[in-house]
Structure 1
Amino acid sequence: MPFCEVGRHQKTDGAAANTATGIQIFYRTYGKGPIKVLMIIGLAGTHDSWGPQINALTGTVRPNDEESSVEDPSGGEATGVEVCAFDNRGMGRSSVPTKKSEYTTSIMAKDAIAIMDHLGWRKAHVFGHSMGAMISCKLAAMVPERISSLALLNVTGGGYECLPKFDRQTLSIVLRFLRAKTPEQRAAVDLDTHYSQEYLAEYIGLKTRRAILYQEYVKGISSTGMQSKYGFDGQINACWTHKMSRKEIESIRMAGFPISVIHGRHDIIAQLCHAKRLAERLYPSARMVELNGGHLVSHERTEEVNKALLELINASQSRTNLYEWTNLSVKNSGGCYSDAKKIIFLSFVVIDISLVLLFSSAGKASQLTAWRAASSSFILESVEKLQIFILYFFGLFALAFQHLRRGVMRLKPVKVEAALTNTFPCCFCILPSPVQSSNPVFELHSPNMETLAADVTTVARNKWGFRCNLEVDYASEEVARMVYAALAVDKELQPDKVKRHMSVSKGKLSVDLEAVEARFLRASYSAFVDVLTLATKTIEEFGQGLIQ
């Protein structure tokens, strides 16, 4: 297996900067030819995630290091492209450092440079996705002379821009992600973060894309294993600490190579406005490509993405004029802050017009000129301060969320600190544990098969015939409503098979579950109790923290 041992990437530039640390980066190459392409994958991804793009560029997905590989006249030699894709540190077959300080986009960019040196590549087209696009930006800023072109897929500027869109769907995904312990659970969450809902709902034959991709994801996660905590936390740290300075942006912009910023309009992880803002900062080198897709737009809109990448390579090879390459008409229009800037600008325009009328009537033109000069400077300072404030605010929010997440992950939710006042078993029994009546543990007992058969007979004519009711007394209307709000964002994975109805009254949370089959009711009940336990424990500990 091909590995590249990388050096100790320190802040100093002395001889010790290349001291070996034993950190190995797993990589693979595909195809043959003079055109070199380096692909950098995103958070929690592995090199084979680039499969559709590797196949389009080289005509094969078989790595060069496999003994079974043979020369294929329709493969890499014909296209003249050699691709290298690798697992970032902390993921896949690459080493997993245990310190967060060993994960930054700068360090990981140096890993990529080490691979280029290891392969003997002087220059390469660099394609990055999500966190990989952040790494690609750092790489391009460090060694712009070694970049032929740059493709940034589903990219953000790092820091608070890594925060996803805040809505009910995102909250539901976060809750499901926190309790994902198995490949099956992680696969279900990944599908909703990687693809748009419209794409997942499409039918391929008799199955939806969701069902097909779910099996593929489970198989892939099971084969590579769940990402280690060190690797995940480290890569999250790399995203959060990523920042491109004006000097770095200018270094990329002035290097003269073409850039494609490719993004899905329905990406809930990396918001489109941040990608647009980065593209505008890179004007005139950048071209903005918007596609109807989610975060993994390279898989959802494979043909369009591959076409955009081939156009980028051709533009670099033919030395296309950058002003002909770009499709952006205005530099730095404001991105996510355009509305705020417009409001500030229009406010000052109104004030300026009023002062023109005032000073003109008083014959004080010199004072008007002085005010305009001062106001222009003030506008720029106000916009900068506004952006810093927004960064600070969302930074605090993200830190608080991260602290809460760590606290929740340390919990082992096995019981709900509330009194179970009422259960109505239908097809199986839902009983509190007899060991601790004050703090009951919810247990699911298998039904008596004869009773179950009788129940099936009585409800055979009713589609939603399998049901159970659950009531939990929190002795507090406020706490019950907080738990209700937390549970409301957690949607049933199979709404056509299971229905859930919830209500709050007099400090009690009532839950009704209905299903078309007993097995769906069991699965839904088990998953619901996990979320109920997690939500109750989290709110309880949060309240204790406020009291302390």
Structure 2
Amino acid sequence: MHGLGSQLLLWEEGFCEGLAATGFRVVRYDQRDSGRSTILEEGTSYTLSDMALDAVGLLDYLEFADVHVVGLSLGGMTAQVLAAEHPQRCRSLVSMASHTGDRRFGRATDQARDAMGVAVPEDPVLAAKKNLADRRIWASVWHDDDHAGSVFAAYAERSVQPHHAWRRQARAAYDGGSREDLLATIRIPTLVLHGTSDTLITPSGGERTAAVIPEADLVLVNGWGHDLAPGAWPYLIDAISTHCHRADGTI
């Protein structure tokens, strides 16, 4: 599950192929108001629970009884709610670069917060430029401008998210307040991944998530930011696949 303002292309083919090579089938999708999924009308609203139900509907359509759920940022929040409210559909949870909804934890730096406050233009070329400029602020140590720029150009060519759609996703993420009471009910194997270089959702967001979810494992990845830079893939793929295999009892 991808993050706010993103789309399924966040999970690049190379990342998905690397994860699949460890023994898993990988499914990525556009969350509502993103990519080629339905862009809702202005004035509508929804919650993380609604977004989690979208995932349940997708699992039903694909005829998957249960899956390992992996989400980053807003996707991590959706994955958390899915694991709490629909545990029978989840074999395990991986919450990446996310938080619990308690605004005391994971607070963005001033520079990152200010960048998020500026709307992405709906012109595809300008949207790609804005996304790349923002990415530099919360990038991993492995960030490469040319690679990231090509990804954002593909985003813009495929679909530019209207700002009203971005606002609805943001409200779903933040208007519900703290999810900590809900997260404390999660009983499936949980891995929390967070980067030490994340300035958009700073590491305390991940640390708090791991503290709230019973028996969650926390892995802090040195140098990883709020992105999926290819240099981070080996660390992330290893952590995710090891966690999922342990949950399945295959290692």
**TM-score range normalised by the length of the shorter chain:** 0.7 to 0.9
Within 1, Cα distance between the matches of 2:42 and 2:102? Answer: 19
Whether 2:218 is the aligned partner of 1:288: answer yes
1:317 equivalent in structure 2: 248
Within 2, Cα distance between the matches of 1:120 and 1:81? Answer: 16
Letter in 1 for 2:194: H
Whether 2:120 is the aligned partner of 1:190: answer no
Q: Which has the larger radius of gyration?
A: 1
Within 2, Cα distance between the matches of 1:172 and 1:114? Answer: 36
Letter in 2 for 1:115: L
1:255-294 to 2 correspondences below 5 Å: 255=187, 257-284=188-215, 286-291=216-221, 292-294=223-225
Aligned length: 245
1:237 equivalent in structure 2: 171
For residues 494-529 of structure 1, the C-alpha deviation after alignment (integer angstroms, 9 at most, x for no partner) is xxxxxxxxxxxxxxxxxxxxxxxxxxxxxxxxxxxx
Return the match for 2:37 from 94, 107, 110.
94
2:25 equivalent in structure 1: 82
In 1, are the aligned partners of 2:132 and 2:149 still within 8 Å (CA)?
no
In 1, are the aligned partners of 2:79 and 2:95 still within 8 Å (CA)?
yes
Letter in 2 for 1:46: Q
Q: Could you tell me which runs of 5 or more consecutive residues in structure 2 were left unpaired when the two chains were aligned.
A: none
Aligned to 1:301, the other structure's residue is in SS state: helix
User: Shift of the alpha carbon at 1:247?
Assistant: 4.4
User: Shift of the alpha carbon at 1:225?
Assistant: 3.3
Taking every aligned residue pair, what percent have the same amino acid on both sides? 22
In 1, are the aligned partners of 2:210 and 2:218 still within 8 Å (CA)?
yes
In 2, are the aligned partners of 1:96 and 1:230 still within 8 Å (CA)?
no
Within 2, Cα distance between the matches of 1:87 and 1:220? Answer: 14
In 2, are the aligned partners of 1:90 and 1:231 still within 8 Å (CA)?
yes
In 2, are the aligned partners of 1:163 and 1:269 still within 8 Å (CA)?
yes
In 1, are the aligned partners of 2:191 and 2:219 still within 8 Å (CA)?
yes
User: Shift of the alpha carbon at 1:251?
Assistant: 2.1
Return the match for 1:249 from 170, 183, 203.
183
1:193 to 1:96, Cα distance in 2 relative to 1, 3 A: farther
Within 2, Cα distance between the matches of 1:308 and 1:173? Answer: 30
Within 2, Cα distance between the matches of 1:44 and 1:117? Answer: 26
Within 2, Cα distance between the matches of 1:171 and 1:47? Answer: 23
TM-score for the superposition, normalised by structure 2: 0.86
Letter in 2 for 1:262: L
Within 1, Cα distance between the matches of 2:106 and 2:42? Answer: 21
Whether 2:19 is the aligned partner of 1:57: answer yes
User: Shift of the alpha carbon at 1:86?
Assistant: 0.7
For residues 163-208 of structure 1, the C-alpha deviation after alignment (integer angstroms, 9 at most, x for no partner) is 5222xx3366357x45756134323323224413x434xxxxxxxx
User: Shift of the alpha carbon at 1:88?
Assistant: 0.6
Letter in 2 for 1:123: D
Return the match for 1:115 from 42, 58, 62.
58
1:125 to 1:243, Cα distance in 2 relative to 1, 3 A: farther
1:108 to 1:219, Cα distance in 2 relative to 1, 3 A: same
Whether 2:70 is the aligned partner of 1:127: answer yes
Within 2, Cα distance between the matches of 1:315 and 1:282? Answer: 18
In 1, are the aligned partners of 2:197 and 2:225 still within 8 Å (CA)?
yes
User: Shift of the alpha carbon at 1:246?
Assistant: 4.9
1:171 to 1:142, Cα distance in 2 relative to 1, 3 A: closer
1:338-417 to 2 correspondences below 5 Å: none
Aligned to 1:86, the other structure's residue is in SS state: coil
Letter in 2 for 1:189: A
1:228 equivalent in structure 2: 162
In 2, are the aligned partners of 1:187 and 1:217 still within 8 Å (CA)?
no
Letter in 2 for 1:293: W
RMSD: 2.5
User: Shift of the alpha carbon at 1:235?
Assistant: 0.7
